[in-house]
Amino acid sequence: MASPNVFIRLKYYKSEDAGLNPDNPIYAKKIKNRTYYSSNQPNGNDYMKYMDNGSKAGEVYDYMAYAGNEEKSSGVFGKDGLLSEKNKKEIRRMLRETKSVIWDMIISFTEDYGNKHIKSYWDALEVIKKNFPNFFKENGMQDDNIIWFAGLHENTDNKHIHICFFEKEPLRIRQNKNGLFYHVGTMKKVSINDLKVAIEEQMNGNEYAFASYRNELMVQAELALKNHNGYGDRALRLKLKELYRRLPKGRISYNSLNMVELRPLVREIERILMERNPYMSEEFKALKKDLEKKDIEIRTICESQKINAERYLKKDKFIEDFHRRIGNKIIRYAKTFRDDEENTIRKNQQSAIRRKIEKSKRLRLFKETARLTREVDYEAIDIFTEYRQKLAEAEYQRLVEEGVIEAN
């Protein structure tokens, strides 16, 4: 079994207003720790000072000061880069005054992995900026309501990032209680697992942020679309006609319960449309193979972290999303055609007009078949483009990290 490359440790310290009893030894220690992290130590030896100055002769300082020591790390930083003395002073003031929980997180890396992927505080900053907004969201917090500062510790065998964060304002509502409240402190275990996997994916260059395939895909897709002629596809017309006649009333979509029986018919129409565009069909197969390779990498990451990989795998989610989006496009066309037909029939009751309607209906079905073919192809282009952009970015990041090319 592979060893994990990313480790996370998270602790939190509540406000003294949280009902902690200073006479209880356990709570007394928590209060002392809170005082240390909130830059409220009487002797000034707090968390931030440790970040600036490091550890000297038994003295204990804070993270913010520790990061400013060039022998220890690159510098203390926030979302906009290195913090000035004015920035540090302001954060210290906020730490002393806040009633929010204060969190202390350490993200550490195995020696070889950290040395390979974390070259400077900029790399650490990108890790936090990329992954923390989703981490906060998973725990019911708003990224723009969080103050954080961090330092990259580089003078040990295992590089690690220290992050301290807290909420600006209380925004949470509690049942049967008036007013707004801060987060209670406990973070979801699954969110921490998600964070570890996301960080390792990012550092491995597997973010699926795509782009280099887009131009060629669009050129080839446009050539394929120009060759479409929906008027001659009898099989497609018959399937569309069957679908619109069987569509249930009310609100419908590909995943709705009232479409369960018709879903195979929608998939059959999708199959016919894909066969009409060989380029899209081959692209679909190729992209599935690429995503299978990425899923193998993700499984390796999750195996090393002893995390169930299923929630992070990409291929099945892509296929499901593809069928849903194409299916909804087909259903919308069929529903629009059915609704228009019913309205026309209601307005024209005479038999002669009905014969004319039938003729018009056949002609319109021919035209709508061609339109649907084009619309589904465009939808497929959008889906393939999204996933291809992500795969291309993975390759770009790898080439940058290996020094083959320079980052733009």
Percent of the chain at pLDDT exceeding 70: 72
User: What are 31's two structure tokens?
Assistant: 């209060």
The stretch 72-85 carries a mean pLDDT of: 77
Question: To the nearest 10°, the Cα dihedral for 191, 197, 198, 199?
Answer: 110
Mean pLDDT over all residues of the chain? Answer: 75
Q: What's residue 232's pLDDT?
A: 47
Question: To the nearest 10°, the Cα dihedral for 98, 101, 102, 106?
Answer: -160
Strand partners, 9: 106
Q: What's residue 74's pLDDT?
A: 55
- By mean pLDDT, which of 18-22, 138-142, 246-250 is the weakest? 18-22
Could you give all domains of the chain from N- to C-terminal order, each with its CATH number?
A: 6-204 (3.30.930), 214-401 (no CATH)
Q: What's residue 286's pLDDT?
A: 78
Pick the most confident of 148-157, 166-175, 311-320, 338-347: 166-175
Q: What's residue 66's pLDDT?
A: 39
Cα separation of 186 and 200, whole Å?
Answer: 23
| Claim: this prediction has a pTM higher than 0.75 | no
Cα separation of 84 and 86, whole Å?
Answer: 5
Enclosing H/E stretch for 152: strand 146-153
Pick the most confident of 134-148, 263-277, 319-333: 134-148
pLDDT category at 135 given cuts 50, 70, 90 is very high
pLDDT category at 350 given cuts 50, 70, 90 is low
The stretch 53-72 carries a mean pLDDT of: 39
The stretch 318-333 carries a mean pLDDT of: 82
Percent of the chain at pLDDT exceeding 90: 17
Query: What's the pLDDT tens digit per position in 188-221?
Result: 999 999 999 889 888 876 443 333 333 343 344 3
Model confidence at 110: pLDDT above 80? yes
Query: What's the pLDDT tens digit per position in 146-201?
Result: 999 988 887 667 888 989 999 999 998 888 888 899 999 999 999 999 999 889 88
Task: Give 166's contacts (C-beta < 8 A, 6+ positions apart).
Answer: 94, 95, 98, 100, 101, 102, 103, 146, 147, 148
pLDDT, greater one: 233 or 111: 111
Strand partners, 105: 10, 163
pLDDT category at 318 given cuts 50, 70, 90 is confident
